[in-house]
Amino acid sequence: MLPFQIGPRALPRCRAIVLAALWLALAAGRALWAAPDNGGLGPLSLRNQFPPSLGYLNFTPEAPRTLPAGDLRLTYQLAVANTFINTQAPSKNSTTVIDKAAVLAGLDESDFPAMGYGAYIDLETTRHAFALRYGLFEQLELGLDMAWISLGGGGLDAGIESFESSIGALNKDRTRVPRNRFDFYLIRDGKFLVHTSRAADLLPQDPVLQVKWNWGDGGDLLPMVTLKGTYKAPLLSDPGSPRNLVSSGGIDYGYYLLLAKRIGSVIGHLQFGATQLQIDGGSFNAVLEHKLFGLEFRSDDSNSWVFQVVTQSSLFEAADFVSNQGDFLLSRPTDVLVLGHKYQGRHGSFDVGFAEDFNQNQNETDIILFVELGWTW
């Protein structure tokens, strides 16, 4: 029973009001959920390649748009990464110093601090990564990733030093040790976690399964929203040497939120989430947090220039003591700048770019050069 009566003369006016309200609701819904190309071509899909993290699952940025149902996509990525870290360099005011003579003589526990982390990592990795994606439904995509990694001395040291010198940012610690060697020493509390100077070729990483669920393409006001889940399944629980350099033998999983919003010819990408690692012995942090902010500049329907910054919490646990090395910053978050170009055709794609560590906290790869080819059926 209404507290008021609607007379016959008022009915047409009420119908008009109801119809106007419905029209406004539909218009607002269209503004919120209309489907401009919010997803774009997506950010550059490059995972962290810091040597101590290669055995664990890590966040890989990805386009939020899912494949149409029944479509199949295969990509191959070649990435070459150069890493140099010396926590005992002369510039670190360390009680023990690792220089050229120490490296040539061979390193042992006495070259590193008795407490906390210490690292001497001078190497290059070449990663061959294959990613298979399948559109199961219109908004649900399944994926499988497999990669093989070669670790060695490489040949980028001279070029990196020349480039850094030309822009006035030369890391002088690089010039105090031999070039193009493979040395991987990581220690905590006087015990080695990794100690090898023997290169290895085409070591298989553990496969990664993923599911990507697109919640909506967004509209004029709302962004495209996609959820992504990943799961690393170990091939062997005890991979042994040297494969333990790229496989932890544990089960890792991650969950991430992918957002994208287009304004004019620019698409903003925001992606964040966490990765849970199975860590034996408490040598590293068991949870990594990730954030990506990227800008994609669309030059046409098939081409984009991409600028993105990826921040990740450190794999290394914060020390519970005061270190005698003032700039020993392994436990600080990492910041990586990634620049590149993306091309997406009807049945093929091509990406090229590079990544650079710009906070120099000694907990990230210095530079990565990569190229990616893709095919869609």
The number of beta carbons lying within 10 Å of the beta carbon of residue 30 is 12
Q: Which two tokens stand for residue 58?
A: 């890590």
CB 328 within 8 A of CB 279: no
Higher pLDDT, 86 or 362: 86
Secondary structure E strands in the chain:
72-86, 117-137, 140-152, 183-188, 191-196, 200-204, 208-216, 224-232, 252-263, 266-276, 287-298, 303-312, 334-344, 348-357, 367-376
Higher pLDDT, 358 or 284: 284
* CATH number (domain holding residue 217): 2.40.160.40
Q: What residue type is assigned to position 323 of the chain?
A: S
Q: How many domains does the chain have?
A: 1
CB 311 within 8 A of CB 272: no
- Whether 349 maps to a domain, the answer reads yes
- pLDDT at residue 241 in the model: 84
Host H or E run for residue 44: none
Q: How far apart are CA 10 and CA 202, in angstroms?
A: 80
On the question of pLDDT at 21 being above 60, the answer is no
* Buried residues in 148-183 as b, exposed as e (16+ CB within 10 A): ebbbbbbebbeebbeebeeeeeebebbebbeeebbb
- Give tens-digit pLDDT for 154-170: 888 888 888 777 877 77
Q: What residue type is assigned to position 104 of the chain?
A: L
CB 116 within 8 A of CB 316: no
What average pLDDT does this structure show over 249-277?
A: 95
- Whether 90 maps to a domain, the answer reads yes
The number of beta carbons lying within 10 Å of the beta carbon of residue 22 is 10
Q: What is the CB-side half-sphere exposure of residue 169 using CA atoms within 13 A?
A: 10
Q: How far apart are CA 114 and CA 93, in angstroms?
A: 16
Q: Which two tokens stand for residue 47?
A: 């995972």
- Whether 12 maps to a domain, the answer reads no
- Whether 1 maps to a domain, the answer reads no
- Whether 25 maps to a domain, the answer reads no
CB 174 within 8 A of CB 158: no
Q: Provide the pLDDT confidence category of residue 106 given band limits of 50, 70 and 90.
A: confident
Q: Provide the pLDDT confidence category of residue 36 given band limits of 50, 70 and 90.
A: low
Q: How far apart are CA 51 and CA 72, in angstroms?
A: 31
**CB contact set of 2 (below 8 Å; sequence gap of 6+):** none
- Whether 330 maps to a domain, the answer reads yes
Higher pLDDT, 310 or 115: 310
Phi, psi of 92 (to 5 degrees): -90, 0
In a 10 Å sphere around its CB, with 0-12 CB exposed, 13-18 middle and 19+ buried, how is residue 14 labelled?
exposed
Question: Could you list the residue range(s) of the whole structural domain that residue 368 is in?
Answer: 38-376
- What are residue 79's DSSP bridge partners? 127, 370
What average pLDDT does this structure show over 270-276?
A: 96
Q: How far apart are CA 333 and CA 313, in angstroms?
A: 4
Q: Which two tokens stand for residue 104?
A: 């040539």
Q: Provide the pLDDT confidence category of residue 15 given band limits of 50, 70 and 90.
A: low
On the question of pLDDT at 361 being above 80, the answer is no
- pLDDT at residue 32 in the model: 46
SS3 251: coil
- What are residue 45's DSSP bridge partners? none
- Whether 42 maps to a domain, the answer reads yes
Higher pLDDT, 87 or 144: 144
What average pLDDT does this structure show over 26-39?
A: 55
* pTM for the structure as a whole: 0.84
- Give tens-digit pLDDT for 321-337: 545 443 356 778 888 99
Select the highest-mean-pLDDT range: 46-50, 99-103, 161-165, 169-173. 46-50
- Whether 4 maps to a domain, the answer reads no
Higher pLDDT, 249 or 319: 249
